[in-house]
Amino acid sequence: MKQVRGGVKAWLIGLAVVLVAGLAWWGTAGHKPSRLIVIITPSLDNPFFGQEAAGAEARAHELGYATLKFSHGDDAFKQSELVDTAIARNAAAIILDNAGAEASVAAVQKARSAGIPVLLIDREIAVRGVATAQIVSNNYQGAMQGALALAQAMGGKGPYVELVGKESDTNATVRSRGFHEVLDQYRGLVPIARQSANWSQSEAFTRMQSILQAHPEVKGVIAGNDTMAMGALAALQGAGRSDVLVVGFDGSNDMRDAIRHGQAVATVLQPAWQQARYAVDLADRQLRTGSTGQPEKLIMDCVLITRANAARVADFALQPAG
């Protein structure tokens, strides 16, 4: 009888060890998804990032998920902390507009190691095989459209300025290359300044004021995003320089209005709302089936916005004609 009781006791101890080990495994490699999607963008105040966060949140709610929205402010350390928060909250998935192509790899890998799929929107990272998806605008295609609009508006000649985004962001580099793919073919177009304004309206305002003092002959401005384009427009208006032609990139409501009022030539709409919603769709598919069914990198074409179609732009989306 003692042998039986001893055997039962040993069996119970063994079972307890297995259960503890199993629970430990489940909390790491066996991460059990919840119904929470965490949305992290550079800013919630910037219209572009605000709209992509709103688009992701709306779609997640339609699919029955709870959401948390955070902003990393283009700070890779804060981004890492927010990913830790998502892991601690047992997030099902993370939708992320990241804080830098190189600096964000470790944060994405950390979430992946915790069993949480990360779907990137707007900005990509420097490596493949870490994120579940990378959904980005066709920045090169869009930039060429914007550059062609400026070249044509300037009649293929004259001095122009380029305002570049945050240089740690792949988008800034790709857009600049796209601009020059077109502009460099016009011998009459003369680049007189190329400065980074870090995607910032206030920095673009200051840069443009300085450029106007050093190069009053400027006739055109092409900016890597609409926020910088609006900063440049404010500086030009303050100096009474309505003769300078401005092209932006994003498709914001502010640039839409500037185009409609004849203050700017064009912008390039990138589908922020559509990208964010699609990222949530892919996250849902990944969670339900174990696969998105799509390649990791997905590219969406941009649309040139001029006075001909500006009235149809609303919140980074082009409404149907008619």
CATH number of the domain that residue 55 is part of: 3.40.50.2300
Please check whether residues 146 and 59 belong to one and the same domain: no
Tell me whether residue 244 is in a domain: yes
Please check whether residues 278 and 256 belong to one and the same domain: no
Q: Which domain holds residue 54?
A: 36-136+271-300
Residue position matching structure tokens 């990509």: 124
State if pTM tops 0.75. yes
What are the φ and ψ backbone dihedral angles of 41, each rounded to 5 degrees? -130, 165
Report the distance separating Cα 39 and Cα 54, nearest Å.
9
Please check whether residues 208 and 280 belong to one and the same domain: no
Q: Put residue 275 in one of left, alpha, beta given phi > 0 → left and psi -120 to 50 → alpha.
A: alpha
**Quick one: pLDDT at residue 29?**
42
Tell me: the pLDDT tens digits for 17-33? Answer: 444 444 433 433 444 55
Please check whether residues 149 and 256 belong to one and the same domain: yes
Tell me: the pLDDT tens digits for 62-97? Answer: 999 999 999 999 999 999 999 999 999 999 999 999
Please check whether residues 174 and 265 belong to one and the same domain: yes
**Quick one: pLDDT at residue 111?**
98
- Mean pLDDT, all residues of the chain: 91
* Percentage with pLDDT > 90 across the chain: 84
Report the distance separating Cα 157 and Cα 152, nearest Å.
9
Please check whether residues 171 and 255 belong to one and the same domain: yes
